[in-house]
Structures are given as structure tokens and as C-alpha cells.
Amino acid sequence: MRSAFLFGTAALTASAFASPIIKRDNDPSGPGGSGHGAGDHGNHGGHGGNDFQDFSPSLPDDFPNPSQDQIDDIQDRAHGTLPNSPLPTGLSDDGITNFKLIAFNEIFEVAFFFELVQNITHNVEGYQFGEDKDQVLENLNVILAVEELHALGANAILQANHVDAIKPCKYNFPVSDFESAIALAATFTDVVLGTLQDVNDIFAQNTENGPVRLISSVIGNEGQQEGLFRIIQKKTTPAQPFLTTSTRDFAFTAIQGFVVPDSCPNIDTIPLNTFKPLNVLTQNIEPKDQKIEFSFNLSEVDVDVESLSLVLINAQNKPIVEKLEDIEVKDGIVTFQADFPFEDFLLYGLTIAAVTHSAESFDSADDVAKQTVFGPGLIEVS
């Protein structure tokens, strides 16, 4: 079994790794998880003895400013070096914004995977494995180091263009077990896979090809990671033939859902739009036609709810426009349902939902983002 994770078939790997062996509090061999002693998200209940509060789950390797020795070590763990060819300089404002968003995202990913590795390493409740532990950590440690290099690389490009590096925020992840952590990783990685399409498209529009090869290499890497997350979730590794596209504003908003409010030292230097949140209330969405329930908070938003549309973005297809149905408003919170036309469009992989100003149709995800009021709601069929 030892090599199953690396060399086994998907099925073998999935059965070996899909679920950690959950040890309960009264199991003397398994320390229960505790709240984050030092973190800012310490409102998750603590249980019993632990070694979790002995570390401070923030960022590894003196991030975001590792020493050269630390960078050498990160490169060893990432199985490769930072690019040693000259960094792209003279970038357009849009090109700079691309790298600000990438840095903002990659630092968030470093925080996430560091915390996930720590949770597994320290046997936090919900993250306890039996003999599979080393094999799970082997992959996640490579992913962590890879994300560290992606973040360092993006910030290095900003600095080469005489722009301040993006600084880390404090984060709060809405997960407390391995399965939900991997499902979250799969979802935000899919958003990245869609958003880097937008980034390359923007470089192309500005006829600055310099970074496109580099970004494309990162898209492939993130796709490799997504394959692992899908195997762990017992899904087929290819999600869909043409991955769902996204836009910078959707990604920028989605990442802020995991950020402790007002904890980002220089997020205000990223000139992108932040939408009001759209919540997907329906859980465990199956691959079939159905109604999906959503909610948003109408406070401080001046729109006529009856005039809004629900738009679904999937694959490389024209956005799908649906009506808001069964609208209910209670204490400023709007709940509604909308059709999820799975069969007609084969809505596999990521679907991005947005509530927009009314429209008959949209030509592209960019057009949707321009009209979005609430979003993105992130849907992954199970």
C-alpha cells in the first residue's frame, strides 16, 4: 500500500485515501483537536488534550520574506526552482493588477495548505489518519511548497516592476475536517484555473506576451493539484473537457470570503471589484436537473429584487440566464430558487453563479461580471 498514493490506479488510491481514520476524543491514542490558540480564528471549539496549540498556524518559512536558505529549502520541497530567467518588466497597469491578484491568491493558498498540513501532522480531530498519514502529507507538502514559490514569484515580479509586494492577511477557513478541506481546496483551485484564463486573456488584449508562458505553466500545475483533490473525492480526474472560465473580480471576491475583515495590510492597492456575497444554500448538489436555493443580504444594496437575474457560468459556454423564483425576503435576507439545468448543458466541474442586473443574455463571463451585484456562488456537483 505504501506506493499506492503515488503509483496506484485512481480507484486504489481513492479507496486508500478518501477518508481519514477519525479517532474520537475518548481514544487515548488520538489527541483531540483544539481551537487555534494563537490564530485569529480561535472560535472553533476545543476538545481535550492536544498538541495543536503548541504551534501558531500562520505562515511557514518566515513568509512572506523567507531568507535565501529558506528559499533553497522551499525549492527542494517543491521539486523545482523559481524561474531563473529575467522577470517580466515594463508591465501595463492591467498586467500589474494580474500579478497583484495572483500574489493575493497564492499567499491565501499558502496559509490554507500550511494549516491543512499542520492539522494532519498534529492529529487534529477530523484530520487523523492511520498508516496513510505519511503518504497524504507527502503530496500536500509538495503542494504547500509549490504555492510558496508561486506566491514568491508573483511578488518578485511586482517588485521588479517597482510595485509593493502584496502582504498576507489573516485567514479563516470554514472547514474542520479533511473531507471538507479537500472539497474547499478543489473549489478554490477551480476558481484559480478559471481566473488564470482571464489573466492570460488580459495579457493578450494588452499584447504583452512576456508572462503568458509562465502563467500557462502555473495553470498546468494547478490542474495537477486539482486532479489529486478530485481523486481524494472519488471523482474522475478530468472534470470537463473545457474548464469553467472565471474573471478576476469573481476570484478577488471569493478569496475575501476566507479573509478576516480588515486584516489585509495592502488589499486596497488591488484595483478590482468586490461583489456582495451570494450564498449557495443547497448542499451536496447532484449532477441532475434541479432547483438550487440561494440567499443574499439586501441591506445597503439599492436594487429591485424583481428585476434581477441569476446567471450560471460553466465551461467555455455562453452564460445561462435564469429567473429568481420563490423569492422570500425576511429581515433583509433574500432567499430564492433558480433552475440548475444540468442535463442540457452538462454542468460538470465548477459552475459560477451570479445575481446580476436584468438581462436577456450575456456574451461572456466578463459581461456577467460587469452586471453582477451578488456573487460568486460556487457550485461543484458531487
Stretch that binds ligand NAG, among 16-24, 159-167, 173-181, 262-270 (CB under 6 A): 173-181
Should residue 44 be labelled a site residue for ligand NAG when binding is judged by CB under 6 A? yes
Nearer to ligand NAG, 144 or 312 (CB): 144
Q: Using an 8 Å Cβ cutoff, are 354 and 382 in contact?
A: no
Should residue 112 be labelled a site residue for ligand NAG when binding is judged by CB under 6 A? yes
Should residue 181 be labelled a site residue for ligand NAG when binding is judged by CB under 6 A? yes
Q: Using an 8 Å Cβ cutoff, are 159 and 165 in contact?
A: yes
Q: Which residue has the cell 481514520?
A: 21
Sites for ligand NAG among residues 207-236 (CB under 6 A):
none
- Residue 74 backbone phi and psi in degrees, to 5: -60, -40
Binds ligand NAG by CB under 6 A, chosen from 107, 124, 165, 353: 124
Nearer to ligand NAG, 39 or 319 (CB): 39
**How would you class 73 by CB atoms within 10 Å of its CB: exposed for 0-12, middle for 13-18, buried for 19 or more?**
middle
Stretch that binds ligand NAG, among 5-13, 72-80, 151-159, 169-177 (CB under 6 A): 169-177
Should residue 147 be labelled a site residue for ligand NAG when binding is judged by CB under 6 A? no
Min dist CB 22 to ligand NAG, Å, is 12
Q: Which residue has the cell 494588452?
A: 206
Nearer to ligand NAG, 95 or 126 (CB): 126
Q: Using an 8 Å Cβ cutoff, are 344 and 326 in contact?
A: no
Should residue 329 be labelled a site residue for ligand NAG when binding is judged by CB under 6 A? no
Q: Using an 8 Å Cβ cutoff, are 185 and 226 in contact?
A: no
Count of residues near ligand NAG by CB under 6 A = 17
Round to whole Å and give the CA distance between 374 and 254.
11
Should residue 143 be labelled a site residue for ligand NAG when binding is judged by CB under 6 A? no
Binds ligand NAG by CB under 6 A, chosen from 262, 300, 302, 344: 300
Binds ligand NAG by CB under 6 A, chosen from 288, 289, 332, 361: 332
Query: Strand ranges (DSSP E) for the chain?
Result: 279-280, 290-297, 308-314, 320-323, 325-330, 333-340, 350-357, 372-380
Separation in Å, CA 99 to CA 8, 158, 195, 349, 373: 37, 7, 12, 26, 25
Min dist CB 110 to ligand NAG, Å, is 11
Other Cβ atoms closer than 10 A to 161: 16
Residues that bind ligand NAG (CB under 6 A): 33, 44, 112, 115-116, 119, 124, 126, 173, 175-176, 181, 297, 299-300, 332-333
